[in-house]
Amino acid sequence: MAGSTDFDLYRPAEEHDMLRETIRSLAEAKIAPYAAAVDEEARFPQEALDALVASDLHAVHVPEEYGGAGADALAMVIVIEEVARVCASSSLIPAVNKLGSLPVILSGSEALKKKYLGPLAKGDAMFSYALSEPDAGSDAAGMKTKAVRDGDFWVLNGVKRWITNAGVSDYYTVMAVTDPDKRSKGISAFVVEKSDEGVSFGAPEKKLGIKGSPTREVYLDNVRIPADRMIGEEGTGFATAMKTLDHTRITIAAQALGIAQGALDYAKGYVKERKQFGKPIADFQGIQFMLADMAMKLEAARQLTYAAAAKSERVDGDLTFFGAAAKCFASDAAMEITTDAVQLLGGYGYTRDYPVERMMRDAKITQIYEGTNQVQRIVMARNLP
């Protein structure tokens, strides 16, 4: 799988099919049994982390030279998709490990890569991404967090909001202003460690969905870090952040695919068992048409996402458009499919005794994070192929 680009634009190669079988078996045996409790208790899915680490599936994107599997972008999509099929919260373990570490992979020094990618590959640490702030969401360039040079150190002060897996992750890619006069070109990227003095976290957000993945503020209070923890050159942080999102928006599309597939699978089984008017409701044309539309939207989203993954692997010139399109289309489809799954279960779908209401709640965030779908449409319009 290392560095492979021998798959065509839409069809996974045999090795990807084998990977899917492996991760699906793992997800169903070691992650699915805890999904409802993780949601109900709003607790981190430690069982999922342990299972993924034991199988070296927690950060398959890390290159081989740093101890990782060196999996390609499509393999990463498949891992996230299959985990999200049973538990969306757990799928954020591999997804955010990539999001947090990709700036280091793309722009970091060789020393930085060796220092931080090795522990990530081994499962000794997790990586998060700290871009958003209370007043800088879609307008990320308007951030207020500052980094001031002090000899061989940088001193960081500010607040980051909506940080996935905050408090659990050991490492954080933090974007901070190093030259306020240059706006986006005055932003630099740094690796901050949870153990650094001055790093603390807010209370977990009380969320609609993905309750097992902690979302917290990260507080930086005179955090003094060595200058060699800067990722890339000074002033290149925002460009690195945007380049990262070109690749990782595809992982959100993958998460949306998995959530939608889980909901469709459950709904298909239910309508074959549920009887009304003397026969299974699956025999009614209205139900059949709903299922057909759900499957059609899901497959269209999957083909677009896999095409985007191929472009991510090759770093094609139209990656920005395809990354935004895959994330936008797949997340919209997931919201529609999960809502229809609830409808197909009727009153039962509205209760927490069945998983589809959780899937519907989980699907919503895929339309919001890593850039709202309104922002994705702006990105697409500016990058029409």
Q: Which residues are catalytic?
A: 370
Question: Hey, which bits of the chain come out as E strands?
Answer: 127-130, 146-150, 153-164, 171-177, 187-193, 199-201, 215-226, 230-231, 275-276, 279-280
Mark out the alpha helices in 57-146 (DSSP H runs): 73-86, 88-107, 110-122
Residues in the chain: 385
β-pair type (127-130, 171-177): parallel
Helices (H) and strands (E) in the chain, counts: 11, 10
Distance CA 304, CA 249 (A): 12
Distance CA 243, CA 273 (A): 47
Q: Convert 42-78 to b/e letters by CB count within 10 Å (16 or more is b).
A: bebbebbbebbbebbbbbbbbbeebbbbbbbbbbbbb
Distance CA 127, CA 83 (A): 18
Give CA torsion, residues 191, 237, 161, 40, to 10 deg. Answer: -70
Instruction: List beta partners, residue 150.
Output: 153
